[in-house]
Structures are given as structure tokens and as C-alpha cells.
Structure 1
Amino acid sequence: MTAVHFGFLRRRHLAGVLAAWALPTWAQRPASKRLHVGVEAALLSSGLAQHLQQAIGRDTGLAIEWRAGPGGALLSLLERGEVEAALTQSPEHELALERRNLLHDRRPVARSEMVLVGPAPRRAGRKQVAGGDPAGIAGGRDALTALQRIAQAGASGAAGFVAHGEPSGTRELEQALWKTLGPQPLGPWLRTAAAGPTAVLDLAQQTQSYALIERGVWQARGAKSGLAIMVAGDARLAATYHIMRSFRVNPPGGKLLVNWLAGPSGQSAVRSFGRGYRPVG
């Protein structure tokens, strides 16, 4: 090899090293195989999942394939190793698996809240009578009081409530609230929606009923529903999404995914998206 050629190779190698030093830490990591990650379907409906997917691919080279569903179903897939990681907000189920050492690295990613929505109140005018909000809960901050009033109005035939029909984090919270009030009331005023994060909102719109909706889904889909937020801001309605890895599989990109989502880059991505979601810091 000539001295000129050798010198050229040395300069090219040095340039490559300097270029690598100039890149962000994430960009220096080699791209890994595609990761199958369970994601609470609400995050796809709101758009946050797609936003995170693009940012993860750009920063790390990871190819994320979301598998959407309700948190309870996704955590069963995670337990069996059928997905490598999951992003859910089903705290009781998550903690139960963590206590059994069936998941690793459970870390918070984004905060949101549930809001209680219902028929928008209408003031009386020349061409319309007063109406909406038959339970009289608009503007409240106490979810338990609001549910109690809805149940009372429902028993008299004046109001309806739409419950979640799949094992999502929202359903878990909804059932916990009813349990705090006592035995869950029954009656034709209490309907159960089909599967899917927007099914509850669709049925509540059709029947002019009350429902608990994740704020991100509401901000993405609620504007044309004819419903309005009745109750928000109760600490009992808070929701936190966690990322976690399966105990049964250990793909090379799994740890990178968790660290990115829970770290500064992931938190910045959540903050930039907004729309009902906040970083955990």
C-alpha cells in the first residue's frame, strides 16, 4: 500500500471518528430489529403513539410496530412474551405482574387524566328551551359526587351513563370509582360500549349520555360530539402511562426503547405533542 493511499485511509478514519463524536448519543447506536410493542389504543386515537414512533425512529433507528388494544389484554400478551414491551395505563394489573417478576423496567412516560363528559348545558333562548346536563354536574371537580348524581338521575329516567366494555385502564378506574360509592347501580340507563377507545364516546354521543373519556382522546375526537366536559381536575381521575419490558423475551432494542421514552428525549417528545398529555417530570 502506498504512503499516499495509507494516509488517505487514516484521514478518512479520523473524519469518521470526529463525525461520530459530533452526533447525539442516540444516533451513534446501531439500528436494531423491529420491536413489537403493545400500546393502549387511546394513544393511537389521540395521535401520541404515532408522534412517539416517529421520534423514536429518528433518534434511535428502532423500528416500532405498535400492537394496539386495551391495557389488560396487552399486559397478558406481555406476560406471555408475545410483545417485547408495552405502553399502558392499567396500574393494578401492571403492579400485579411486577410483583410476580413477569415484567422489567416499569417506568412512567406520560401523564393524562380522565374527564367526565356529558350533554352540553343549553341556556333558554328565543328559539330553544334550556336543556342538557340532566344530572346538574357541569363545572364540578368531584368525580364521586358527579357519579352519584348521574346514578340518581338515571334511576328516574333522566340521564344515562356509558361504561367501558373492554379491560382498559379507563375501565379499571371507572370501576374503582363506582366501587368507592358502593354496589354498582344497575338499570337501562347504564349502557356498555363495544370495544375500542372511541366506542364509548360514540355511544355517549348517540344516546346523549355521560361517560369517562381519556383527555387525549377527547381533545382529538370530542369537538364534534355535541358533548362537553362536565367534571375535570379531580386527583382520582389522574392517569399515568408506563413503559415496561417483558420478562420472557429480551430483544437488543428493548432497553434502549425504555430508556428513550422515560428519559429526556422521550419526555421532550411528550411535551412537544401536548394535547392532553404531560411529561412525568
Structure 2
Amino acid sequence: MTRRPFATIALALAALSGTGLAQASDDYIVLASTTSTEASGLFGAIIPRFTEATGIEVRVVAVGTGQAFEIARRGDADSLLVHDTAGEERFVEEGYGTERADVMVNDFVIIGPGGDPAGISEAETVAEAMRLIAEVEAPFASRGDDSGTHRAEQRLWETAGVEPGGSWYRELGSGMGPTLNTAAAMDAYVMSDRATWVAFENPQDLTLLFEGDEALFNQYGSLLIDPERHPHLKHDLAEQWHRWLLSEEGQQAIADFTVNGQPLFFPNAHSD
């Protein structure tokens, strides 16, 4: 899946809203969120519990975090759930949001071919692992889509003192699942959120090679959009979703979600 242009995203939003215009009387919200929360199956597990409790439907537009921010800035989504804390805080500071809150956490992992040609499984830090990949110019598949995962990857290269480029570094403009598929076909290294990796069904020779560094911490946040900037949005319904995510019931729903018996997200709600 390549990066979706504005027209394609606009069509998706129109389809979600039925007419393309938000109807205040309709008991649903449009949520702009990340591909990892959708592809992992999390929303399929927790949204029905929210809907049962409140009667409010949640319609998800799953894109990279950067695109999710843009959708929310334009006023084309009622709520926002993403994983780029610095970007989220900037969203509030710039007056687009009134509140952000930590909701849940998981981590990023570095995946690669079983033979591990760069030897990253022996690295002590993720920065060292990234340097080893660059030193041998082992193929690396990057999402390249301004998603939360891509932004985190770029920070790791910077920490490692590497400016990636050249034929070994492939920026795909893809979501996490398609990027993993491409990495599997290329026998390439790739950074993934753990949830999408665990749910991934086409690993071929790929295996998890590096994990556990604190720099791979992956925080997800929920944001309320400023009603003065976008008064047409369903702020009352969106706030019910936001508060439910932070509630004991919402946090338990997140904790209950597993794939193959493995929890993929860990609740850690508290307001900033």
C-alpha cells in the first residue's frame, strides 16, 4: 500500500460518514488512528465493547500517524489516537487539541532475515544494531510514510549517527503490514511495532532479532480536538470515547486483547 493521496483519503472519509458530511444526530464518530492499531485487530476487539456500553459507533480511518494528524487538523475526524508523543504535544500546543492522554504502550522490534547478516542479535543497544545494518549495507525496508513508526525509526538512525540512504535503504511509503511483506520478499531488516509483527502471517525467513532497549518504547495517546477550531465535530461523543479509553473498563478491554495468547498492548492511562 503506497502513501494515500488527499483525494483517496477524502473518499474514504466520505464513505465512512455516509454522505461525506458529519451529521450531529448520528451516534458515531470518525477516529483517525494508526495502521498498527487496526491491523493488529485491537479495534475489532475493543470498539464493540465501547459501542455496547455507550451506543456510539466508532468508524476508523487507519493511516500513518502523520496523515492522521493532518486529517484531524482539517477537521475531518472527531477523535485522534496515534503514537508520536512529541507530535501529539505539538498538536495541542498549536491549538488543534485541548487534551492528550497516555492510553497504552507496547514496543518496537527489529526484524530481519534468519541468517542475520549484520549480526544485530549480538548488539547491546538498538543504536548499535542500526549502525551494524548500515555498516554492511544490509537491505532495510523503511515505511517511509511519516507514520509514528517511521518517525521513531528516523530518531533511531539519528541516535546511531547514521544518515540512511543508497540502494540498501528502501523507503516504501507503505503501512506496516505491506512493509513487512516487502521486507520478507527482500530478506531485509525492518522495524515494526510488536503488535503488527505478532499478527503478521507471512514471515517467510524473517525473525525477531532485536528487542528490549528502552529506546524502543512505543506510547499511544488519545487526543481531544479543539471545539473552537472545529465546532462542527461531534465533541461530546468523542469525549465519551476518550474517557472510556482511560476508564477502568476501557483499560481492561485493552488488557484483554491478545493474539495467540500474547498481549500486544499494555494499558497505562494517565492524563498529561
What's the TM-score, normalizing by structure 1? 0.80
Give the corresponding residue for 1:176: 155
RMSD (Å) for aligned C-alpha atoms: 1.7
Q: Partner letter of residue 213 of structure 2?
A: D
String of CA shifts for 1:55-114, please: whole Å, max 9, x gaps: 111111111111111111111111221101011002222111111221122111110111
Give the corresponding residue for 2:126: 143
Give yes or no for the alignment of 1:253 onto 2:237: yes
**Would the aligned equivalents of 2:27 and 2:55 in 1 still touch at CA under 8 Å?**
no
Q: How many residues align?
A: 236
1:200 to 1:207, Cα distance in 2 relative to 1, 3 A: same
Structure 1: state its 5+ residue gaps: 1-30, 121-131
Question: In proportion to residue count, which structure has more strand?
Answer: 2
Give the corresponding residue for 1:43: 37
74-83 or 221-230, which deviates more: 221-230
Give matches, 1:1-281, under 5 Å. Answer: 33-120=27-114, 132-138=115-121, 140-154=123-137, 159-221=138-200, 224-247=203-226, 248=230, 249-274=233-258, 275-280=263-268
Report the Cα distance in structure 2 between the residues aligned to 1:259 and 1:198, rounded to whole angstroms.
Answer: 30
Report the Cα distance in structure 2 between the residues aligned to 1:115 and 1:55, rounded to whole angstroms.
Answer: 29
String of CA shifts for 1:108-128, please: whole Å, max 9, x gaps: 1110111000011xxxxxxxx
Report the Cα distance in structure 1 between the residues aligned to 2:133 and 2:101, rounded to whole angstroms.
Answer: 36
What's the TM-score, normalizing by structure 2? 0.82
Report the Cα distance in structure 2 between the residues aligned to 1:139 and 1:270, rounded to whole angstroms.
Answer: 33
SS in 2 for 1:267: helix
String of CA shifts for 1:176-208, please: whole Å, max 9, x gaps: 111122251322111112422212201110110
SS in 2 for 1:198: helix
Q: Partner letter of residue 222 of structure 2?
A: I
Q: Partner letter of residue 163 of structure 1?
A: S
SS in 1 for 2:166: coil
Q: Partner letter of residue 257 of structure 1?
A: W
Report the Cα distance in structure 2 between the residues aligned to 1:185 and 1:66, rounded to whole angstroms.
Answer: 33
1:222 to 1:233, Cα distance in 2 relative to 1, 3 A: farther
**Would the aligned equivalents of 2:184 and 2:203 in 1 still touch at CA under 8 Å?**
no
1:141 to 1:170, Cα distance in 2 relative to 1, 3 A: farther
1:118 to 1:57, Cα distance in 2 relative to 1, 3 A: same
**Would the aligned equivalents of 1:46 and 1:216 in 2 still touch at CA under 8 Å?**
yes
Structure 2: state its 5+ residue gaps: 1-24
Q: Which runs of 4+ in 1 moved over 4 A?
A: none
205-214 or 47-56, which deviates more: 47-56
In the TM superposition, what is the alpha-carbon distance from 1:148 to its structure 2 partner? Answer: 0.4
132-141 or 53-62, which deviates more: 132-141
**Would the aligned equivalents of 2:29 and 2:234 in 1 still touch at CA under 8 Å?**
no
Q: Partner letter of residue 46 of structure 2?
A: L
